[in-house]
Structure formats: structure tokens, C-alpha cells
Structure 1
């Protein structure tokens, strides 16, 4: 082995990596991103779960119990309602994760040692369910004197946690719907991420330049075939989830597919934008991975969204997978409709519009 020739090859590779800005960014960016995400953004100790309060007793004692619950940091009240039915509707729409119900006869229940408070939990997320169970350990203090004339002792009442949508706490019920979004994000962005680059590398761009096809027609034509592939993937995941894990579809199957279409279009347009920026298929795959990593970590698929810092939550709101997970879990596990989850629908439509517009503006029918 000639060391001089070996050194020349090594030097050539280093210079090539220096000129490849995408690769250089990945070398530094990936370890920095993983360190920041896992060290700062990922938190399994949930705090500040959005909660609705139905205090039907509205006494000093009931308010004291609610204040004790809030003081734990597990819940953060976002809405005050009158009935448990309203809390159930908010749970179904995904507006809250926890609902606290204090019945009108709260003080009598405490004095008799009966169930005095109910905590309604969206059990579709097992991590949220586990965090809410901490509330059941609180002693009920500060209630008025019971019928025996003596103040009730701490813990003489009971706080019951009632989990909806996944009472068995099966992880597959939460994971399988999310896998639809994860798989569609990985495949759709990657497929279209290399679309324009592949045309350029194979020499097909010369043929496209000679045709009267417009930029918009080319972009939309690239998207539609992959949209059909995405629907096939959705069907496969749904069937396997039902067959292997008995994952229910409580809402409309049509709404499940409409939600999948929204994510497919959002990811395809993002892939097209990547394709107009990348200079090679390898670069396109690198950029796809750079998008996929934060999507899977910050969207709420692997780690609870409520446990992330507010700044990271704002960043996650930009990712289409975040909104799709809320849609698909709401429809499949809670029986909600897309119309009830309209903020997530609008977010995906806005993302698709922006990405497609940028991709069309960036694409030029020329070789340089």
C-alpha cells in the first residue's frame, strides 16, 4: 500500500465533505440535535396536563381539594364547566387530558368515607394515564364536619381515577395509530425528496424542459402517484393493527382516510421542497433524515407532548406529524370527527399550501 496515494484519497474525501454543506451540517447537526432533544426537550415526568374542572359543590372544601391537585403540578386548569358531560366532550375533542369532577354532595361523601372526587382521564395515552393516577394519592383535607360532629381525617374520602378509551392500558392502542403517521412521514418525504433530483441525475430533465409542462403541473403530477401509495400503506397498517393488536376504530373510517390524505399531502409537498434544494439523491436522503428525527421525537409519538418545554412545543407545532397524531388518535380512539378537530385540519392544510408554493417557486425547468 502506497501511503502517498492513500493520503491523497483521504485528502480528496475531506475536501469533498467540506464542499458538501449538507453533509457538513449533518456531521455537526445530528449530535447537537440529539443532545438537545434528549437532554432538554424529552421529559417522561409529566407536568401541567390540560385539565377541565367541574366543581359542582363550589364550597371552600371543594376548592381546597382542587387547589391541592393543582399544587402537585400534574394538572393545569384550562376550563371551568358545569357538568361531567361537558368534560367528556372536551376529552373526546382532545381539548383536555384530565377532567376533575367534584359532586354537589362532596362534603357528605368525604365524611362518610365514600368516593368523593372523580378524575376523568384520556387513557389513550398510557403515560398521561399513569401521571393522573398520582392524583388519587392525595388526602381529602379541609372538608366540613361530618354527620358525627367530628372533622374527617386526612384520606377518609377517596379520589377515583376513571380512564376512558384505553382502560386496559395497552400500549398498542396508542402506538398503532401513531405508526400510520410515522411511516407516512418517513416514506412520503423520502419518495418525493429524491423525485426531482432523480430526474436530473438520470437525464430526464432535458426531456421535461422540451415539453410544455408547467412547473405547477410537474409538481402536482409528482405528488399524486405517491398519494395513492400512502393510502395503500394506511390500509395495510389499519388491517394489521386490527388483526394483530385489536386496535379499535371508534370513529368514521372515512375520517381516518381523510386525515391520512392530509398528512400525505403535507409530507409530499415537504419532500418536493427538499428535492428542489438537494443536489443529489444522497443529499435528499440526508435532509429527509434531518426532518424525520425531530418529527418522531417531538410530535408526541414516542414521548408525551405535555412533558416538553413550551419553546419545544411551539417548534413541534410546525411539524405535520404533531397535528396528524391528534387527528388520528381523536378519530380512532375517542370517536371524534374531523370537524371537531378542525384546528389540526387547518394546520395541515396551511402547511401543505406553504410547502407546495415554496416548491413551485424554487423549481426551475433548467439544468443549472
Structure 2
């Protein structure tokens, strides 16, 4: 049986230490805000206002209309007009523009005859993501302009769900919440237990009537409350700064967030059992946290990963919690629609807890 008084005594001791330890306070209170602002503003997949250099060999009303179509979009902006096709490529060489547009002198003649014509786009491929986006944008705008010149054509009608404006911040913010909850709880939990080892107080605690389970629970109670504070803080700031609303159930979000916290706390405990110093704990924490950011689908889609990497990502709790967060916050779906990631997360958590507790007890023995 767990003795509540002994457990709360450990929790009070940990709270006192957190108040005295400035590093813990910074990690607990300042780091979440910093991460939210960093990823919310700096990490963006939105590509707007790409600079164009234009060579207009036709110099006609039709060619100017095409250039205006490109320039009036939110994605592309004419930066300069050049006198020769070679100057377009030079502009890309010097990095002044990302896209070069070459309109041939026969453009208008063929267009007026109803014959197929072409426009050449030179795209800076040094950044593959921007290059692919630029190619898509330019093709989309030209196709739309071409359709406007014709009559009785079939026009596609796209209805964007969940994130109609395609703002990357609304995709990133839910992932940031999971990232913050994971990082803070793992690091603080690991540091808390290893700190007792460094000070030599772990042996003193073991000699008392306190059981290993009471010690662990007492240690993590303050960090559970800190994690809930961080959850509320990121949700509020996400709403105020980035306009990200919770479309689904807040109760379901908090419940599943609590379950996810359990896995992060268990991982922190496991790291503490194989670390002798806080420096080792920090290195091991980063060795887990950094790959989890990449493999969990927070930044890059898992579907684009090689099969072996995709398989590894299935063993990271944040992978499933990201699906849950985006499902509840962006899509507004409920338990039924999220049953698969919830079941996977629960199964993974059970394994992590069992392994962590066994390792912790073995370390104490």
C-alpha cells in the first residue's frame, strides 16, 4: 500500500527544490514559451512572395496579362525585368530571385492562332522544398490563366477542410504542445532522480520506510502539475497569438494528455536509472528527444519516410499523441475516430512503464 503522507512529503521536498533551483524554473516555465514562439514563428512551411525575374520577349497585352497573373498571387512577386534570357539565369546565379520566367517572342502569335505555346520557368533547385513549391505554384497559376482564356472548360472546385487557409502555424502548434509536454517532463524527471544520486541522498531515502513506488510518485507529482500548467499555457498562447482554436473536446484532450504524460514520466525514470550524473541524464534525454522530433511526424510527414524509419517511429509515444492532438484541435474528432492512435499509445505506455519500473527497482536493489 502507498502511504499518502510519505508520498506527499517527498512531493513537498521536490517543490522546495524546484523553487530554489533556477535552472529547473527556467526549464519548467520559460522554455515552453520560448519553444512555442520559436516553432510558431520561425518554423514555417508557408512559402510566399517568391521573387521572379522576367524576360518578356513578346511584349504584348497577352504576355503582360500572364505576368500580372503571376504577380497578383500571394505566392509569386516580380522582382525585376531583364533584357535577355541569359540575364534570367544570371539573376538566379546571384541569388536575387528564386524563379526566372522566359516568355518567348512567338508567345502571342501562337496564342492568337489557337496553337499551343509555352512559357519557360527556371527554378532555383538548391532548396528542394522551395523548388517543388515554386514549380507547383507557377504551374497552378499558368493553368488557371490558361483556363481563363478559354470558354466552356471544366474548372476544379477544391474545398479545404480543417485548415482552409493552409497556415503552417495551425499545423505546428498542436505538435508543439506534445513536444513541450514530452521534453519538459522527461528532462525534469530524469534530473530530479539523478540529482539525489549525485548528492548521495538516494541511499538515505532508501534507508527510510519510504518504498520505491512512493519515492517515484512523490518525485513526479510536482512535474505532473507543471506539465498541466504548460498544457494550459500553450493552449492559451496558441489561441491568443496564432488563433488556434480547439474544435474538439477539451476534456478528451486533457484525459489523453494525462495518459501521454505517463509515458514521458516513465521514460524520464528509465533515463535516470542508467545515468549517474545530471550531465549524463541530459545527454541521454537529448539522444531520445531530438530523434523523436523528426520521427514523430511533428515536422516531416511519416508517410514520406523509408520503411525502416517509419517502423522505428511506431515506437515513439509522441507519434500517436501528435495524431491525437491534431485530430482534436484541428479536426474536432472524438474518441471513435482516434481509437487507433489511442490504442497504440496505450499499448506502448504499458510496455514503457513496466520496463521503467523494473529497471528502477533493480537500480535501487
Normalised TM-score (structure 1): 0.56
The CA deviation at 1:157 is 3.2
1:290-331 per-residue CA deviation (whole Å, 9 max, x = no partner) reads 001111111111112221122211111111111011000000
Contact 2:174 2:322 in 1 (8 A): yes
**Pick aligned residue for 1:167 from 164, 167, 174:** 164
The CA deviation at 1:270 is 0.6
Aligned to 2:238: 241
Distance 1:166 1:232 in 2: 27
SS of residue paired to 2:329:
helix
Distance 1:315 1:296 in 2: 13
Contact 2:273 2:363 in 1 (8 A): no
Distance 1:156 1:340 in 2: 38
Aligned to 1:256: 253
Aligned length: 227
Aligned to 1:325: 322
Q: Map 1:145-164 onto structure 2 (within 5 A).
A: 156-164=153-161
Contact 1:265 1:352 in 2 (8 A): yes
Over aligned residues, Cα RMSD in angstroms? 3.1
The answer for unaligned runs of 5 or more in structure 2 is: 1-44, 46-131, 140-149
**Pick aligned residue for 2:304 from 298, 302, 307:** 307
The CA deviation at 1:200 is 1.1
Aligned to 2:270: 273
The CA deviation at 1:347 is 2.2
Distance 1:208 1:181 in 2: 33
Distance 2:168 2:341 in 1: 24
Pair 1:361-2:361 in alignment? no
The CA deviation at 1:363 is 2.1
Contact 2:248 2:332 in 1 (8 A): yes
Mean CA deviation greater in 265-274 or 216-225: 216-225
Pair 1:190-2:187 in alignment? yes
Pair 1:227-2:224 in alignment? yes
Question: CA distance change for structure 1 residues 335 and 367 in 2, over 3 Å: closer, same or farther?
Answer: closer
Distance 2:201 2:260 in 1: 29
Q: Map 1:65-76 onto structure 2 (within 5 A).
A: none
The CA deviation at 1:215 is 2.5
The CA deviation at 1:344 is 1.6
Distance 2:173 2:338 in 1: 20
Distance 1:281 1:135 in 2: 49
Contact 2:187 2:282 in 1 (8 A): yes
Q: Map 1:27-176 onto structure 2 (within 5 A).
A: 156-176=153-173
1:136-183 per-residue CA deviation (whole Å, 9 max, x = no partner) reads 999xxxxxxxxxxxxxx9x94344332101111111111111110111
Distance 1:218 1:353 in 2: 20
Distance 2:364 2:318 in 1: 34
Normalised TM-score (structure 2): 0.56
Which structure's residues are more often helix, by fraction? Answer: 2
Distance 1:366 1:257 in 2: 33
Aligned to 2:337: 340
Aligned to 1:291: 288
